[in-house]
Amino acid sequence: MNDIMNNSSVINDIRKIIEQGRYQAYSAAGQVAITTYWNIGKRIVEEEQQGEERAKYGTHLIAELAEKLMPIFGNNYNKRNLQHYRKFYIQFPDFEKVYEFVHNLNWTHIRRLLSVVNPEARMWYLKNASEEMWSTTTLDRNISSQYFERRLAAQRENSNIKDSKAVAPYHDSDPMEYIKNPMIAEFMGFRKDTKFDESQLEQALIDNLQQFILELCRGFAFVDRQKHIKTDTADFYIDLVFYNFRIKRFVLFELKTHTLTHQDVGQLDMYVRMFDDLVKGNDDNPTIGILLCAETDKTIAKYSVLHESEQLFAAKYMAFMPTEEELQREIEKQKRFFLSQHGNEE
């Protein structure tokens, strides 16, 4: 017995089995709860829709149900929660599509999704929250910061874009799926009126690397900061280097605390070319360069090498969480910037 107890391998294996079993039980319980709530919502809606008299009766139905159910089953069936279950059924009428993704989610995830008005965005958040195993905090932040709307892939779905390639469906291998503009970086701790230089910006991103990678989105891994590239005549230093395993590309970030300039674009273009020539492996796809700047500029996008480039991008960072109205205005502004970059300004 002592030999067994002293065998840390056995103890660790059994601990893992127990933890896995607990997780599976918790996950299964979560799926059962979500299924139960959807079916309750369905039954409520069916009862409300049985003709005109029933519809009038339905206005009092939830209150009466809560009064009868709460003493038996508890606060999960109070008036407010029953209203959530009803809304759950209305917003997700096809439960097969929902059930496909609920194995990594709980009811708090679903309840947060009910606030998303756009049905396409709602399903996108559901799918990605499950596949990427977002916590409820991460899901809440992504919805609040309009993650879906800020993807350049969504911005390209614009009727003004004539290029058929530009409006094609996007998938995990498309780099456009991994770039957001503007980028929300409130996690750095800067206030709206804070002044900081590029070294402080870089340090703040490094200090909050996990949150920065979550903002970047799927598949990113940190590689290096101030990456040294040596040529025959000079030394160069790239601010931040990441690798994205989904698109199999290095992604270079240059950080600027001023409005985008043509010198910034030229510098990044040179870094990307050098990196492809001196660092990139044969199995890697072409490197992407992203300028994170305090403000973008449509003129630079239209008349610099940034114009129609498939490897260079510029994005505005916001060092604070804007209001919903501010963010909507900024998203529209960055859409226009993106269209200028890709030759579709009008």
Count of domains forming the chain: 2
User: If residue 251 lies in a helix (H) or strand (E), which one and from where to where?
Assistant: strand 249-255
Sheet strands (E) in 126-219: 183-184
Asked if pLDDT for residue 102 goes beyond 90, the answer is no
The last residue of one of the domains, among 122, 144, 166, is: 144
Q: Of the ranges 165-174, 287-296, 299-308, which one carries the lowest mean pLDDT score?
A: 165-174
DSSP string, 317-342: EESS---HHHHHHHHHHHHHHHHHHT
pLDDT at 273 over 80: yes
Structure tokens at 92: 């997700």
Per-residue pLDDT at 161: 42
Co-location of 122 and 159 in the same domain: no
Asked if residue 280 is part of any domain, the answer here is: yes
> What is d(CA 243, CA 117) in angstroms, rounded to the nearest whole number?
34
pLDDT tier at 315, thresholds 50, 70, 90: very high
Instruction: Check whether residue 172 and residue 310 sit in a common domain.
Output: yes
Domain contains 346: no
- Please report the pLDDT score of residue 206 as a whole number: 92
Query: Which is more confidently placed, 160 or 278?
Result: 278
Task: Write out pLDDT tens, residues 168-189.
Answer: 345 667 778 888 889 998 888 8
Output the domain CATH number for residue 20: 1.10.10
Does residue 258 sit in the same domain as residue 180?
A: yes
**pLDDT of res. 167:** 38
d(C-alpha 66, C-alpha 285), whole Å: 57
Residues 120 and 257 in one domain: no
Domain containing 175 equals: 150-341
Is residue 269 very low, low, confident or very high in pLDDT (cuts 50, 70, 90)? Answer: very high
Query: Does 15 share its domain with 77?
Result: yes
Contact 313, 130 (CB under 8 A): no
Tell me what the pLDDT averaged over the chain comes to.
84
Q: Residue 241 in contact with residue 224, Cβ under 8 Å?
A: yes
Sign of CA dihedral 205, 209, 212, 216: positive
Residue 58 has pLDDT above 70, yes or no: no
Span 183-222, pLDDT tens digits: 998 888 887 777 889 999 999 999 999 889 888 878 899 9
- List the one residue out of 293, 301, 292 whose CA is nearest residue 335: 301
- Single pTM value for the model: 0.78
